[in-house]
Structure 1
Amino acid sequence: MTASKPELRIDGSEFSTLEGFYDQVGLRIIPGAEWGRNLEAFNDILRGGFGTPDEGFVFCWDDHEISKQNLGYDETARQLRKRLERCHPSNIGSVENDLAEALRHEGPTVFDWLIEIIRCHCPGGDEAEDGIELTLR
C-alpha cells in the first residue's frame, strides 16, 4: 500500500488578491522560506526545494470558488496594469492586449494563471514528475 501524499492547504476565504495568495503560500505551503512572490517563483516552489515534501504533495485549495471570483477579471486587470509599469518595452503591446481582453471580461484570469501553473506539475502536465496533485474544494 502506497502512503498518501501530505496535504498542504490554502483557504480562498483568507485572501482576495494575487499578493494575498502569495501571503498564503508563504504561510501555509512554505512557512518561513524566502521566495520571489511572483508567478515564476510560485512555479519554482512546485518543483520542490523550498521545504515542500520531496515526493510531492496534494495542493488543497479550500474555498476555491471565492478565489475564482476574487481573482477574476478585476484582479487580472489590476495585475496587468502593474505588469505594464515594469515590463520590457518589447512586451508592452502584448500586455496591453491582455489588459484589453481582461477589461472585456475575456481570456484567462489570475485564478486561471495559478491553476495552469499548478496543473503543469500534476499528472499529465509537463512537469508531472514533481508529484503535485490539485484538490479544489
Structure 2
Amino acid sequence: MELDKNKIITIDGSRFSDLPGFYDEVSLVLMKNTDWKVGTLDGFDDILYGGFGVFESREKIEIRWKESQKSKEDLGLETTRIFYQNKIRQGKPFNIELMQEKLDSLLSGKGQTLFEILVEIIESHKNITLILE
C-alpha cells in the first residue's frame, strides 16, 4: 500500500520584501506554465483552491514558507499601514470606510498585518498544510 504523499510547494521569503514581491513569488511557484499572475489578496485565495497551476482542486499539499520570520517583519505593521493608506487614498473601487476601520484596528494593536492575513488565507484551505520555517 502506497502512502499518500503531499505535494510540497516552497515560498521563499528571501526572494521578496513586499506584497508585490510576494505575489510574484507565489505566481512563480503556484502558477507555473500559466499566463495568470497573482495580484490581489482575493486572487491569492482563489489560486489556493487549485485546479489550475501546479495542483488540483482539493489535492492535499504542503506549503513551506522559508524565511517566514523575515516575511513577518517585511509584511508587518508598517507595510500594512501603507497598504491601507494607499487603498484609502485611491478611493473607489475600495470601500474607504472599511479600509479606515481596518487601519484604525491595526494601529490600535487589534488588527492583522499583511503577513497574518496571508497566513490566515492559507490556513483557511483545509487541504493545505502550512509550515513556517
TM range (shorter): 0.7 to 0.9
Which runs of 5 or more structure 2 residues have no equivalent in the other structure?
A: none
TM-score after normalising by structure 1 = 0.83
**Corresponding position of 2:132:** 136
| Pairing 1:10-49 to 2, within 5 Å after superposition | 10-33=11-34, 34-49=36-51
**2:103 is matched by which residue type in structure 1?**
L
Cα distance, 1:103 vs. partner?
3.6
Aligned pairs, number: 128
Cα distance, 1:6 vs. partner?
1.3
**Corresponding position of 2:100:** 96
Matched, 1:57 2:61: yes
RMSD of aligned residue pairs (Cα, Å)? 1.8
Which runs of 5 or more structure 1 residues have no equivalent in the other structure?
A: 122-127
Q: Which has the higher helix share?
A: 1
- Take 1:56 and 1:36, find their aligned partners in 2: how far apart are those partners? 21
TM-score after normalising by structure 2 = 0.85
Contact 1:11 1:63 (C-alpha < 8 Å) held by counterparts: yes
Name the % identity: 34
